[in-house]
Amino acid sequence: MNTTLKEFVDQYDRALEFRRKAESEEDFRSKTTKAVLISRFKLEEEASKCYTRTMFDRFQVEFKDSLDCWHEKTDKNCNTTEYVVGLSVDEKWKWCKVLYDESEEGVKATCECAKFEIEGIL
């Protein structure tokens, strides 16, 4: 086997093993600890059961910020409604545009910040 290829395979195996170990530790932490809730909202409680502790911690920061969010409807066409959404303390030019589309295929919401697509956080 080519030495360069063997080195690559060895490095790949080590990286994979490191990732498996980290996931195993995160799974253990999630199963053996209970999340500390900051509200009495059912959404937060359900998220604490679905996410790993690390992901829940990230969710919780966003959830807390969402309690300070405001929205304003800016446009409505057929099945699509456009909103701007942002923190109440921010100026409106910093707010994000959200499109809420309710059609026969189902409901779809997209936001120009793309946090769900990028980070997996609603």
Question: 13-35: per-residue pLDDT in tens?
Answer: 999 999 999 888 888 887 888 88
pLDDT in tens, 36-91: 899 999 999 999 998 889 889 989 998 888 888 888 999 998 889 999 988 888 88
What integer pLDDT is reported at residue 44 of this predicted model? Answer: 93
> 37 lies in which domain range?
3-65
Residues 51, 36 within the same domain: yes
Residues 97, 59 within the same domain: no
Check pLDDT > 60 for residue 1.
Answer: no
The side-by-side arrangement of strands in the sheet containing 80-87 is: 69-77, 80-87, 96-103, 106-111
Q: Map residue 90 onto helix, strand or coil.
A: coil
Burial of 95 (0-12, 13-18, 19+ CB in 10 A): buried
Number of other CB atoms surrounding residue 86 within 10 Å? 19
Secondary structure, 3-state, 10-27:
HHHHHHHHHHHHHHHHHH
Domain-ending residue, one of 21, 46, 65: 65
Residues 49, 85 within the same domain: no
Residues 42, 84 within the same domain: no
Cα–Cα distance, 122 to 119 (Å, whole number): 9
How many domains would you assign to the chain? 2
Residues 48, 23 within the same domain: yes
Residues 7, 27 within the same domain: yes
Q: What is the pTM of this model?
A: 0.56
